[in-house]
Structures are given as C-alpha cells and as structure tokens.
Chain A
Amino acid sequence: MGVLDKLGVGIGWRPEIDLTVERLPGVDFVEVVAENLHVEHLPESIVLLRERGVPVLPHAVSLSLGSADPVDVHRVEHLGAVAEALGAPLVSDHVCFVRAGGLDSGHLMPVPRTRDALDVLVANVKTAQANLPVPLALENIAALLEWPDGELTEGQFLAELVERTDCHLLIDVANLHANARNLGTDPNRFLDEIPLERLAYVHVAGGVEHDGVYHDTHAHAVRPEVLELLGELRSRVDPPGVLLERDDNYPSDSELARELAAIREVLARHA
C-alpha cells in the first residue's frame, strides 16, 4: 500500500507527553487526535517531528460515520486539512456513532451489525472519502454493550465495509480483547474474517478490569493478553505499523520505552 509499506512502531502524540515522544528511542511514526489540532497553530513538537521526517497521522474521533444523521462535512474537511498540513498519507476514524437524536454520547458507541446500519455506514464513509484528500482507515472499537438482532459478526461487518468502500482498516488489538472479554467475540474468527491486506496499522493500548468488565482506559499498562493478540495478528500478516496509545495517567519515559520494546519483541517473535 505504497507510503504505508513501512510505518514501523509508533506512539500516540499527546500534548502532555510531547517531549517524551520527541526523545523516546525507536518512535518511527506518531498519531495525533485531529480534533485537537488547529492547522494554523500546529504544536511546536509536531512541527519538529515533521522536520525530522517522522510521519504524523491524524486520527479523528468525532466524524460519527455510523450515525443515522448525515455526515458533518465540516468535520471531514477539518480532518482533511490537518492531513494536508502534516503531509499525512492517511487519516482514520472509527466504526461507531457518537451523535443521535440531538444528543452526544461523549464516547464511541457501537453500531448495530445489521444490513440497515451497514448501508448507512457505507453511504457515510463514501461521503467522507469524497471530501478527503487522502485514504481513510476505519478502526474497530471497544464496545461495552451489544445491539440485539445482529445479522453479521464484527469481522464480516468490517469485511463488507472494506469491500464496498475500499477503506483501509485500523485494527485495535486492545479493543479486540475488550470485546472478547466483555461480549464474547472470538478474536481468532475476527482475524480470519477481516481482509488483512487492507490493514493500515494496528493500535495497542492498556486497560483495566473491574467487576469482570475490561475497560479500555488507555491509562494503564498494556496487558499480556493484548500483546498475545498482537502476536496472533503478526503470525497472519506483517502490519505496516503498530502504534501504542496512552491517553492518561502517564508513566515514566522508561516505562513507555519498555512498552514499545515489548511490542517490537512480540512482532519479532511472531514474524
């Protein structure tokens, strides 16, 4: 897939850890939350990383492409403008909805895995693609609940989405673990069903378990089960990139470096 052939191992850039990201060894690429950036006032740290030639990929959280509501083209255009300002080869958002009926959930909500919902999602993704200067990758989310009357597995749903829109996939193995733990999704079946050749990159993140529910917090260490899933994925495909997401409760630089090293180790071991 051209420019994405070799992204390598990366970390989510956040303002709280800007200096850490700059000086961590072995950061091949970073991701930024697109909604937090103003094209006219890019953070110094991001400009510095770009000057060093580090790819910076915009990641959106608010397009709500799974919503029944029509796509908010202004949000798509902002994402595209950020991609152009950063010279990014690709942008991403999630297979989810955040707005419905005039309300905002404040978080990524799962869409029903029905034909209706898939048709709407496909139409929305096509609208987004038509308004973006670069390809779009879509990510599987961690869901805490499941809609009734699903007609497709999550893997089948994503496979058909890719087939009908030609989008790329951003696979989050922590979200895959969350859904396996909380909803009983079979991660191996998921990996069998999705078109791995459309994989743009992989997310890895930490979480915590409370009362038998796994919470995808991005504020705790990466759990061994999540690294095992990364290994399972790597045994099937060599992903162009793998990115660690940490959004809160930031650990020391050395701890983050250890997590990146653990990711590299898993990738090497399952190669």
Chain B
Amino acid sequence: MTEGARERLAEAQSELLTALLAGGPSPAGFDERLLRVEARSLLAKRRGIVAMLGPEVVDALGDEFRPLFDEYALGHPRVAGSRAREDTADFAKWAQERGALPEPAKRRWWQRKAT
C-alpha cells in the first residue's frame, strides 16, 4: 500500500462524516447541494429508525418530534459501535432533560420489560 494511504483516507472520511452528521465544515471539492441531500437523507434514516424503535416517544412529542430529534442528532452524531436502541434511549433522555417529555414512570419506556 502507498505510504500514508490509510492516514490520508482516514482524514478525508472523518472530515466528510463530521460535515454530514455533526454540522462540520464542508470538505473541499464536494457539491454543496449533494452534501445537503446526503445529510438530510442520513438524518431521515436515523430519525425513522428511532421512530420505529420508540413509537411512544413519537406519540408523546407529536409535531415536536421531528425538530427536536433533528436538533438532538446534530449535537449527538452516532458513535461507531453504538446501537440504534441506545440512540433511541439517549434521545428520550435528552428530551426529558429539556422538559419536552414528561418524567418517566417507574419503568422507563425505553427499558425492556423483564422477561
């Protein structure tokens, strides 16, 4: 492998994901419109998965779900190795801390029932 290929690629990929997932600066040479399309598409996919795993939180937030989730997502990009269920639980916790969701009852909605 060419000397430094992995390092150069790591930097470029990291820069792109930071731009797409965490509001980082646009990497040089990319089409701005396509960066926006991609960022929206990734956000929509993530939002859809959280909505599927946590329908209760979507119901509780109603019209506020989407703007709140989008704000949360930008500040909390998915960390490599994390799971979608953790993302769902973290979002609910974040929404509670901001007072957007009522405090949970004894069994929190994102915790599994005992089996």
Contacts and interface: CB of A to CB of B under 8 A. Distances in A.
B103 to A, nearest CB: 29
Given A144-B37, A145-B31, A146-B31, A101 B17 contact: yes
A100 B13 contact: yes
A233 B81 CA distance: 37
Interface in A159-218: 182, 213, 215
A236 interface: no
A144 B30 contact: no
Contact of A116 (B8, B17, B28, B77): B8
Contacts of B20: 105
Contacts of A119: 1-2, 5
A117 B18 contact: no
Contact of B42 (A106, A111, A117, A149): A106
Given A115-B2, A145-B34, A100 B82 contact: no
A103 B17 contact: yes
B34 A100 contact: no
A99 interface: yes
B74 interface: no
A144 B80 contact: no
A67 interface: yes
Interface string B32-50: 0011011001100110010
Q: For this complex, into which size category does the number of interface residues on chain B fall?
A: 35 or more
Given A144-B38, A147-B30, A215-B41, A104 B79 contact: yes
Contacts of B49: 106
B16 interface: yes
Given A67-B13, A103-B77, A116 B38 contact: no
6 contacts: A103-B77, A106-B45, A107-B41, A107-B45, A144-B34, A145-B38
Given A68-B6, A101-B15, A182-B34, 20 more contacts: A68-B9, A68-B13, A69-B80, A99-B80, A101-B13, A101-B18, A104-B82, A106-B42, A107-B42, A109-B17, A116-B9, A117-B5, A119-B2, A144-B37, A145-B35, A145-B37, A146-B30, A147-B12, A148-B30, A213-B37
* 9 closest A-B pairs by CB: A101-B14, A148-B29, A68-B10, A100-B13, A145-B34, A116-B5, A68-B9, A99-B80, A104-B78
